[in-house]
Structures are given as C-alpha cells and as structure tokens.
C-alpha cells in the first residue's frame, strides 16, 4: 500500500461541545446527509484525508473531529478529569452532534473510532442512521479486560501492559513520536507510508492532554484506573454486550497487524441489516487511509440499507 493523494483538510473549525472545545474538519454540502468519521490511536483526522473528499463528492456533509487528547481539541476547564474510558469518548461525539445541531448521522470509524461508533449505535440508536466499523464489535468492559489471553495474543497487547507502569507513561511521553511510528509499522506491515504522511498525524499527539488520555484509556480497560462514577450506569449497560440494531458494515484489512477479533466472533452482535467485507491488497489497521475508496464505498452502501 502506498500514500494517498490528499495531504490537508484546509482550515479547521472549533466548537464548544460538552466539556471540550472540539477541533474538526468539515467538507461537503451543508444540507447533505451527515457522516461523522472517527479516528483511533495513535492516529488522527488525517486517516480520512482521502475518504472525506470522496464522500463530499457523493453529496455527504462530512465531519471529522479530533478526539479528546488529540490535535486542536481542548478541555474547557483545567479541573475536568482527563478521562479516557470508552463511554466518555462516545459522549463527546453526542455532545458534538448536539452542538452542531445534528440529530442523526452515519458514524464510521476504526480502532477507538470504531468502538465509539459501536457504543453510539448500541446506546443511542436514535442518533445513528448506520455505522461502518473496522474490526467489528469492539465494546468492552473492565471485567472482560481482566481475563487472561493465550500468550501469543497477550504479546500483541504489549503496549497496554507497558502503559500500566509509570515507566510506560514516562516512556510514551518522552518517545511518543517514535512510539506511534512503531505502532503504525506493526499494525500496517504492508503500508509503505512516508515520513510526511506520518508527521502530519504525529503533530496531533503534541496535545497537552494526549498522554493522560491514552494512559487512562488503557489502564481503565485493565481495571487499573477508575472511571468517573457518573458514567457507571452507561458502562454497566456496555458490559452486558448490547446488540447493535442499526444497519452496519464491518470491515477488515487482509494485513491487519493489530489485535483484532475474527469476524465470526461478533457477527451475531449486529441484529439489523449487516454485511462484513475483507479489504484485500495488503491493507492494515489504518484502513480508511490505506484503502479510502473501499471505506468510502462502505459508507455509501450502508446508507442504502
């Protein structure tokens, strides 16, 4: 896989939404059907730099926000808990939709973004027209995070255990650029990205809250960090593994080097109209940036379900 053709979204926008001032890119007609594209870790909005114009050309209004801890997204208060638990990231997107007066949207993502799309579809289906989720059903819980895996599977999560230590936090803070590049290489072993492509995304990790959000996210998953009690009810609902009823297309690259479940393990979690696609050609974990045509087509197709 090679680099894409676009390098920039142009001028970004900012809006107060919930506890954040969110930085986001927007393209396409303002009266088009809305698509929200969500990135993961350690990536940023540039994962969609080639997807967004394809969807805009097809008539969609496309919103691509920086998640909390990335890019130009900032907390409104220095007193707010720098929380990375799964339900909070989803609530950020609901707050963004409210701020932009978007009642319903197609939500698509990978990695943290796919999990967030799953959560919104499961908890707030009335806000979600349909979803596209790379690697399928990624809703988890602290209890499931405590279950040991076979050694080979545990090895794939090495960074999560590294982040569980203070040495890991300090190491990620000190070497976040090199760390992220290593993850890119492991997760997408056949993607021949150049330094310029990586550097455009890596700039978003300079956010002052980035390390705190990332470390809390992974420690929370293992039950090593507490979440915010006000979200306990949401987390309990998610821990029950709710079905997703909205139309869904799940995607997987044929060369995804990151930990991911087999599609057969989650297919029954999608009880609405559902399709799974494997994207071939050496496509890794950052599927929208590596295969933008296939990702954009999945959004267009799921909108027709």
pLDDT bucket at 5, cuts 50 / 70 / 90? confident
Could you give the maximum distance between any two Cα atoms of the chain, in Å? 51
- pTM of the full structure: 0.98
Report the C-alpha gap between 248 and 112 in whole angstroms.
17
Q: Are 173 and 211 within 8 A, CB to CB?
A: yes
Report the C-alpha gap between 67 and 72 in whole angstroms.
9
**Which residues contact residue 138 at a Cβ distance below 8 angstroms, ignoring those fewer than 6 apart?**
114, 115, 118, 261
Q: What proportion of the chain, given as a percentage, has pLDDT over 90?
A: 98
Model pLDDT, residue 297: 98
Give the residue among 33, 46, 109 at the shortest CA–CA distance from 295: 109
CB atoms within 10 A of CB 14: 14
Mean pLDDT of 211-217: 98
Task: Quick: pLDDT tens for 162-184.
Answer: 999 999 999 999 999 999 999 99
pLDDT at 16 over 80: yes
Task: Quick: pLDDT tens for 67-100.
Answer: 999 999 999 999 999 999 999 999 999 999 999 9
Q: Are 95 and 68 within 8 A, CB to CB?
A: no
Report the C-alpha gap between 235 and 233 in whole angstroms.
5
Tell me which H or E stretch contains 195.
Answer: helix 195-202
Task: Quick: pLDDT tens for 227-259.
Answer: 999 999 999 999 999 999 999 999 999 999 999
Q: What proportion of the chain, given as a percentage, has pLDDT over 70?
A: 99
Domains of the chain, start order: 13-303 (3.40.50.1820)
Give ∠ CA 49-75-110 in degrees, rounded to 5: 35
Model pLDDT, residue 157: 97
Model pLDDT, residue 1: 55
Report the C-alpha gap between 271 and 250 in whole angstroms.
13
Mean pLDDT of 216-230: 97
Tallying the residues shown for the chain, one arrives at 305
Mean pLDDT of 114-133: 98
Task: Quick: pLDDT tens for 141-165.
Answer: 999 999 999 999 999 999 999 999 9
Mean pLDDT of 134-138: 98
pLDDT at 278 over 80: yes
Model pLDDT, residue 4: 79
pLDDT bucket at 2, cuts 50 / 70 / 90? low
Mean pLDDT of 59-63: 98
């Amino acid at each position: 896989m090679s680099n894409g053709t676009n390098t920039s979204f142009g001028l970004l926008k900012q809006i107060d939404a919930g506890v954040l001032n969110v930085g986001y890119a927007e393209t396409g007609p303002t009266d088009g059907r809305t698509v929200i594209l969500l990135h993961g870790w350690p990536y940023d909005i540039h994962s969609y730099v080639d997807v967004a114009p394809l969807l805009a050309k097809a008539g969609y209004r496309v919103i691509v926000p920086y998640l909390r801890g990335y890019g130009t997204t900032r907390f409104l208060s220095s007193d707010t808990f720098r929380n990375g638990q799964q339900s909070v990231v989803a609530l950020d997107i609901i707050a963004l939709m409210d701020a932009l007066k978007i009642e319903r949207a197609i939500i698509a993502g990978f990695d943290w973004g796919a999990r967030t799309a799953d959560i919104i579809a499961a908890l707030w289906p009335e806000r979600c027209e349909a979803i596209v989720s790379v690697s399928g059903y990624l809703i988890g819980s602290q209890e499931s995070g405590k279950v040991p895996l076979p050694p080979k599977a545990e090895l794939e999560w090495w960074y999560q255990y590294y982040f569980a230590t203070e040495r890991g936090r300090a190491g990620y803070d000190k070497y976040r650029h090199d760390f992220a590049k290593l993850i890119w290489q492991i997760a997408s072993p056949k993607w021949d990205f150049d330094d310029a492509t990586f550097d455009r995304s890596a700039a978003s990790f300079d956010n002052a809250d980035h390390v705190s959000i990332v470390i809390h996210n992974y420690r929370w998953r293992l039950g090593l960090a507490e979440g915010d009690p006000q979200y306990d009810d949401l987390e309990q609902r998610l821990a029950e593994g709710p079905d997703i009823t909205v139309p869904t297309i799940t995607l997987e690259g044929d060369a995804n080097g990151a930990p991911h479940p087999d599609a057969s393990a989650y297919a029954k979690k999608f009880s609405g109209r559902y399709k799974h696609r494997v994207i071939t050609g050496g496509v890794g974990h950052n599927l929208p940036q590596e295969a933008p045509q296939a990702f954009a087509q999945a959004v267009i197709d799921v909108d027709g379900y």
